[in-house]
Structure 1
Amino acid sequence: LLLGPVLLGAAWTILAVAILSVLCYREFARATGFFRYRSLSIVVVLGIIATTFAIVDHWYGFFVAIPPLTMVLLAMVAILRDEPRGYTQRVGLGVIGFLLFGHCLGHLGYMANDADFRPIVMLIILTVELNDVFAYIAGKTFGHRKITPQTSPNKTLGGALGALVLTTTLVSTVGHFVFAGSGVDTPVKLIGLGLIVSVAGQFGDLMVSSIKRDIGIKDMGASIPGHGGLLDRFDSMLLVAPAVFHYIAFFRGFGLDQPTRIFTGGG
């Protein structure tokens, strides 16, 4: 669903990620009942819009400032409801909703500020998808011992380890060409990148499964026939996007050769 916008260019990628963030948040808010709190839901959506502006403006300082600002605003707006019972739950759901779908997914959009973002983002999207496939195949072949039977009964130790090995191998092999000549292009760092993709992807899946079990539903939505909702399709990306972004940024950087604060007067 994101490969098309990535091929079309940075603006389309950022727009697609923003739309995906809002739609995933919408599914989350409906499933958890957070939509009942209209004012708080508006704060979360405004946070996602602000995040998108920070990405388009290539203003990293604002990008990382939005989460605490959104949390403060959620806490303040929730107080104005004058309903102390359930206050912690309401604010907590708002914070989780923004952090996962606004900030975490937003990192995928921020990558588009890099001149060479296409192969990087495509590598991440494809390997996250294949990580799920590898886990399924390895689980069917070698999996017997359940990892979290109460959270996700189909997840097995064999599947998790199989995905870890296969995804790490794939990322480190293809990553050698994607990051050729950069600070990421060493065997140890590429293996580290592969481990992050696999581990973060599997935990993202389990995290959303935990939310679904907590509220007693099977799928977050029904927007994709046979797959549930968008959130069921992109759950593995939630933790991968920020983890991979900061890992690559540490060794290579993102958009260092591009102008910053395009609309707000940067250099």
Structure 2
Amino acid sequence: MKNLVLRSLSGIVYVAVIVGAILAGGWWFMAFVALFTILAMVEFYNLANAGNRGDNPTPVVVDVAGGLVLSLGLTAMALAGEAPWVTDFSASVIQGTLLLLYLLYLLVRPIVQLYTREPNPLVNLAYSYMAQMYIALPLGLLAYITTVPDGWSLLLVMFVMIWLNDTGAFIVGSLIGRHPMFPRISPKKSIEGLVGGFIFTIGSAFVIKYCFPQYFEATSIAALAAMGAVVSAFATWGDLVESLIKRTLGVKDSGRLIPGHGGILDRIDSLLLVAPATLLYLVAMNLF
């Protein structure tokens, strides 16, 4: 009972942080991106490089700094249009500075590896660059979703759909799950759970559009339902990708940061694929 209460409370705090950051926008949203980038990247490096880095924290510090430049740089560029103090000139300066800083990271990182005594330097470099693309880039792309019509509303709905997909998959899979979906990587996931998550997510699109039409004036019910399909598919793949990483490294949870839920990567695994996939879908929808 105590574990259930702790799990529920930590889940409420987690959801409140995300919803609050989206509703507040601006600097609060940037703070959210920065926090999740730091936590997820540190957790990933501790997980992936356990026993390889020794006591030298320098590569992790450099990698997290690079990840912050990437995620916050993308966020700042996406939100620049909302800041009244940002002129076209200052926006260009900011973008150029961030680009140079990230190029500096790409230049310095392999040099840092020369001066660290690690048994698998190439493996560690691969992990370093993987985290940039797997964690920092998707988190940085979140803000670009807000640049499309109904952007902030769609960003919030994307998170809601991710959570409902997980909920639907868990409920249906627990009740009637019989056929394994991907036994090699995640034996407990079932095809029935996959369908349940898909139905929950698509269904949420109709409920949300019906209950809150004023927040989705530029988004049709068909477009919202299609977005639900994209979210459901990539949320499932995102979960499986993280399961593949953990199974390869021989661990059950990515960490213990969130009581009852595991690590931060266990919570945002779906998001890391859903964010870029949703952005691509929304951009394509508005182009065509």
What TM-score do you get using the length of structure 1 for normalisation?
0.80
Q: Give the RMSD, CA atoms, in angstroms.
A: 3.3
Structure 2 runs not aligned, ≥5 long? 1-13, 81-90
1:72-221 equivalences under 5 Å are: 72-73=106-107, 76-77=110-111, 80-81=114-115, 86-112=120-146, 116-171=150-205, 173-174=207-208, 177=213, 180-182=216-218, 184-185=219-220, 187=222, 189-221=223-255
The 8 Å contact of residues 137 and 159 in structure 1, kept in 2 or not, is answered as yes
CA separation of 1:211/1:32 partners in 2, compared to 1, >3 Å: closer, same or farther?
same
Distance 1:15 1:109, change over 3 A: farther
Give the conservation status (yes or no) of the 8 Å contact 1:145–1:158: yes
Check 1:181–1:225 CA distance in 2 against 1; reply closer, same or farther (3 A cut). Answer: closer
Query: Could you report, residue by residue, the CA deviation over 1:48-69 in whole angstroms, capped at 9, with x for unpaired residues?
Result: 2222034224379959979x94
- The corresponding residue for 2:38 is 22
By how many angstroms is 1:74 displaced?
Answer: 7.0
1:46–1:170 distance in 2 versus 1, CA, 3 Å: same
2:75 paired residue number:
55
Per-residue CA shift, 1:102-126, capped at 9, x if unaligned?
0012212343556854322210111
In structure 2, C-alpha distance between the alignment counterparts of 1:84 and 1:9, rounded to whole Å? 41
Q: What's the counterpart of residue 256 of structure 1? A: none
Question: How far, CA to CA, are the matches of 2:196 and 2:152 in structure 1?
Answer: 28
- Contact 2:75 2:142 survives alignment (8 Å): no
Structure 1: tracts of 5 or more residues without a match? 254-267
1:264 aligns with none
Residue of 39, 48, 60 corresponding to 1:41: 60
- Supply the distance in 2 between the matched residues of 1:115 and 1:196 (Cα, whole angstroms): 18
Q: How many angstroms apart in 1 are the aligned matches of 2:205 and 2:104?
A: 34
Verify the 8 A CA contact 1:78 1:90 in the aligned structure 2: no
SS at match of 1:41: helix
Residue 20 of structure 2 corresponds to which residue in structure 1?
4
More helix by share: 2
- Whether the 8 Å contact between 2:230 and 2:277 is mirrored in structure 1 is yes
User: Whole-Å Cα distance in 2 between the matches of residues 44 and 117 of structure 1?
Assistant: 30
How far off its partner does 1:89 sit? 1.5
Letter in 1 for 2:63: V
Of all paired residues, the percent bearing the same amino acid is 27
Q: How much does 1:71 deviate?
A: 8.5
1:190 Cα deviation from its structure 2 partner: 3.1
Q: Is the 8 A contact 2:197 2:232 kept in 1?
A: yes
Letter in 1 for 2:198: L
Aligned twin of 1:258: none
The residue type paired with residue 249 of structure 2 is I
How many residues are aligned here? 251
